[in-house]
Amino acid sequence: MFYEQRTTVPETPADLRAEYDDQLASIVEQRGLEDTADRTDVDPAVLEALLEDGSPDLSLADAAEIQALEDDEPDAETIETMACEHLLLGMTTAVLDVDAVESHLEMELDAKEVQQKIERRAPMSFEEYVHLQHVIAGRM
């Protein structure tokens, strides 16, 4: 599950994203497209793209809503909170500050944006989350 603390990651952010896309697609497949669309605020077209082995534009909140449909999972808000807290914990463990995270990112986010997203003061896309997690866990 994407929100759990990771200490290792695949070689690339794309590999990590593919791993998570497969997990989320499996949940949508098990629950059914219509039921998932009814029980979340995720655009049905995004859910369809996820089922078609795509990496659609998802927010971290969207991914959390899908994950929360699984049995014995916390609610979406808790999942999103835990995901960001694990990023912060990982930064502490790896002794990284936001400037160090920014310098290793393969996407355009400055240190201030990184901090705002991890602290949940700005919305985070799932792609951003995956890249941040890849940098942080990859340096633990």
pLDDT value of residue 53: 83
Helix H, strand E, coil C: the string for the chain is CCCCCCCCCCCCHHHHHHHHHHHHHHHHHHHCHHHHHHHCCCCHHHHHHHHCCCCCCCEHHHHHHHHCCCCCCCCHHHHHHHHHHHHHHHHHHHCCCHHHHHHHCCCCCCHHHHHHHHCCCCCCEHHHHHHHHHHHHCCC
In this predicted structure, the answer to whether residue 19 has a pLDDT above a threshold of 90 is yes
| Residue range 7-17, pLDDT digits in tens | 899 999 999 99
Is pLDDT above 90 for 140? no
pTM listed for this prediction: 0.94
Tens of pLDDT along 40-89? 999 999 999 999 988 999 999 999 999 999 999 999 999 999 999 999 99
- Contact in structure between 123 and 61 (CB atoms under 8 Å): yes
**Mean per-residue pLDDT for 27-39?**
97
Nearest 5°: the CA angle 103, 84, 23 is 100
- Share the mean pLDDT of the chain: 96
CA distance 132 to 105: 7
Tokens of 13: 């952010």
In this structure, how many other beta carbons lie within 10 angstroms of the beta carbon of residue 99? 12
The whole-number pLDDT of residue 85 equals: 97
Task: Report, as an integer, the average pLDDT of 100-129.
Answer: 96
